[in-house]
Amino acid sequence: MSQIKNNNKMDLDKNHNQLPIRVGILIFDQVEVLDVAGPFEVFSVARLNEKRRQIEPSPFRVLLLGEKPDQVLAVGGLCLIPDVTFDNCPELDLLIVPGGWGTRIQINDVKFLNRIADRVARTKLTASVCTGASLLGRAGLLDEREATTHWRAFDFLHKASPKVKIRKDVRFTLVEPIFTSAGVSAGIDLALRIVSHFFGTKIGVATARQMEYPYPQSDHHMYI
């Protein structure tokens, strides 16, 4: 299992050293609410200086990315409105691909998958939550790579990407340039580790504390 080894922040290359770090979270009909809202909360809560929390913004700027500008209906009926579409989305530093029941439909939409693949190719880091991994897998992005997903969706991921190396024993994988996480709340764990990936463990831990959420010290599951 992966453990925290240092507190050093990631060295951003010269093409990605400007703040804020631009994050795009993909949304679509029947996307899982917490797959979107969990990472959104983490990135919006993060601060580089806790003493200036009330007056300094997050180092991340989060955009909801939709295929079309129309609102989408998430699992449970929550309405989400995209900030941008694939056609007008600015360059991203990080792309989040969530899961949800809608992935069972989107996985057969070749145009949608191609647009994801195109965006991934232009993005420094990509991360999936839950069955979002199956979308990446069907797009051909997980061949021979380690990945995980919701425990009920291991077969779904295997069918989407027979060559993927499925990790059934972890809550998230951190192998650049594509990170993956298990289902629902695991997206929060992954997002916190992404904060640390960019800015060091101290900032990740402080973000978790502000949320009153346990910082993921390792990738192991919280349940048996």
What are the residues facing 85 on neighbouring strands?
A: 66
List the catalytic residue out of 34, 62, 130, 160.
130
For the chain, what are the domain ranges? Answer: 21-211
**Beta-strand relationship, 125-129 and 94-97:** parallel
Burial of 207 (0-12, 13-18, 19+ CB in 10 A): buried
Q: Is 79 in the active site?
A: no
Name the superfamily (CATH) of residues 21-211.
Class I glutamine amidotransferase (GATase) domain (3.40.50.880)
| Two structure tokens written together for 113 | 């998958």
Each residue's pLDDT, cut to its tens digit, for the chain (224 residues) gives 333 333 444 444 434 458 999 999 999 999 999 999 999 999 999 999 988 998 999 999 999 999 999 999 999 999 999 999 999 999 999 999 999 999 999 999 999 999 999 999 999 999 999 999 999 999 999 999 999 999 999 999 999 999 999 999 999 999 999 999 999 999 999 999 999 999 999 999 999 999 999 999 988 765 54
Q: Is 191 helix (H, G, I), strand (E, B) or coil?
A: helix
